[in-house]
Chains A and B, each alone.
Chain A
């Protein structure tokens, strides 16, 4: 059974964000291929868990994807690619996918499904991901801290060009700087490319 946690963004409560976390994923290359081929059944944001620093970090990109979708101001092709794009500090969609998206070697995977239409529910998402992803589903609590078990602080710092911002000696498990790091990173995401 696949665990799906549903988050409701303040002000966009009617468009829930469904999130599933997997470990020991063995078919990342297949999943990525579906994205590249724009297989409509695979309309998700598939993220490598190493680049997500907190639930709020993930929800910030989700909010902007929902917002831009509903205000007709998407920069990427779909709401889910917009989500991946919003995470990156620069204006390059390909680079956003390379840094934040699933790669062929991804083993810790975060799958996000924006519920922009009524027929998408936690159940339908769980059912489809159960068939599509070969890996172990990890239950996510309300605070989403499980999402950050695989954070790679060095990679995050490098991508946001913020040396020593997150973690100590590259140990992401050292969360002493997390609040500060998150504050800076949400800011960089918000002012990106403008």
Chain B
């Protein structure tokens, strides 16, 4: 599991300006107008998304943000709308300030990354006071889903082979697909390396926050034992699907890391990712080795971060033992 976003960073609150009286009044009026008991499934979006003829398709509802798929600027530009709704238990002024600071921090890091050539979604627009951000839509899957799909597929592949009386050792036919998967792992390692090279740490580097934009548009469909009896025919599809671009998303907890804590911050990113892999499946944990190998070769300081990772692991284990 990713570390929960902890207490509010005092440095972010102090940099934002306090809202004017007028804003406060507007906000209070707004609150009176809005139906107060908001359920978990329905949220009142800020304008212009309140009453829009453009479809807004809900994707996820996290602890901090609601994420929709929509279009933005032109009808042929798919986009992601990320909205941070007000938190009713927080003081409205503080809440507004925090929301603004965090959205802005997320947007700033994204623009910086994009400028430096790290593959992240473009920032298309936003309104910090209102709590929303529009991002370029990444046509693909989260690595989490790719891993789930792969693990499931591995499962029935092995079963199929056992049925044919073959051993568990990988024969020639599976190697190509394995190689495609290992190559994907290396791409993840390099993407994280590239991010760290720019001095940014992600802060919540789970497999749900890494996307694969495949080079072939649709994933191979069969994930069940009955779907395709002929594994070989699929090998090419699978390789083509996995041969895509890695895009890092969700920079809500990202930060410019300070030189003094950089190594540790980077190691924590890697540790969070390692835990995410381990949580998927033991097989996926094996793949993670390849992520680290590629990471280690991706920039001059990478080896030092990897050494630091060992320390972070030890402390992580101790902490979980203490409960």
Contacts and interface: CB of A to CB of B under 8 A. Distances in A.
A181 to B, nearest CB: 10
Nearest to A86: B125
B130 interface: yes
Nearest to A64: B125
Nearest to B72: A10
Given A71-B127, A183-B122, A190-B123, A60 B73 contact: yes
A73 B26 CA distance: 12
Interface in B35-74: 47-49, 52-54, 70-74
B188 interface: no
Contacts of B104: 191, 194
Interface in B133-156: 136
A186 B125 contact: yes
Contacts of A162: 115
B158 interface: no
Nearest to B105: A191
Interface stretch (B106-114, B229-237, B269-277): B106-114
Contact of B54 (A10, A59, A180, A183): A10
Contacts of A59: 73-74
A187 B110 contact: yes
A9 interface: yes
Given A183-B122, A191-B107, A194-B104, A63 B73 contact: yes
A73 B129 CA distance: 10
A184 B107 CA distance: 11
Contact of A10 (B75, B108, B123): B75
A36 B292 CA distance: 60
A74 interface: no
A194 B16 CA distance: 9
A77 interface: no
Given A11-B52, A56-B77, A70 B47 contact: yes
A12 interface: yes
A10 B74 contact: yes
Nearest to B47: A71
A4 B114 CA distance: 34
B74 A184 contact: no
A188 B111 contact: yes
B244 interface: no
A79 B111 CA distance: 26
Contacts of B48: 11-12, 67, 70
Contact of A55 (B47, B49, B74, B110): B74
A98 interface: no
B115 A10 contact: no
Identify which of A55, A162, A190 gathers the most chain B CB atoms within 10 Å of its CB: A190
Contact of B108 (A67, A73, A183, A191): A191
Interface string A144-164: 000000000000000000100
Contacts of A73: 129
B293 to A, nearest CB: 29
B124 interface: yes
B54 A190 contact: no
A41 B230 CA distance: 71
Given A10-B74, A12-B48, A59-B73, A187 B53 contact: no
A9 B71 CA distance: 9
Interface in A163-188: 180, 182-184, 186-188
B86 interface: no
Interface string A53-88: 001100110011001001101000000000000000
B126 interface: yes
B47 A10 contact: no
A40 interface: no
B128 interface: yes
Given A11-B49, A184-B114, A190 B72 contact: no
Nearest to A70: B47
Contacts of A187: 107, 110-111, 114-115, 122-123
A9 B111 contact: no
Interface in B215-271: none
A184 to B, nearest CB: 5
List of 5 A-B pairs having minimum Cβ-Cβ separation, nearest first: A183-B122, A187-B111, A187-B123, A10-B54, A11-B48
Interface of B: 47-49, 52-54, 70-75, 77, 104, 107-108, 110-111, 114-115, 122-130, 136
9 contacts: A8-B75, A9-B74, A10-B75, A11-B49, A71-B47, A182-B122, A183-B136, A190-B123, A194-B104
Given A190-B123, A190-B126, A194-B104, 14 more contacts: A10-B52, A11-B49, A11-B72, A55-B74, A60-B124, A60-B125, A64-B125, A71-B47, A184-B122, A186-B123, A187-B107, A187-B110, A190-B124, A191-B104
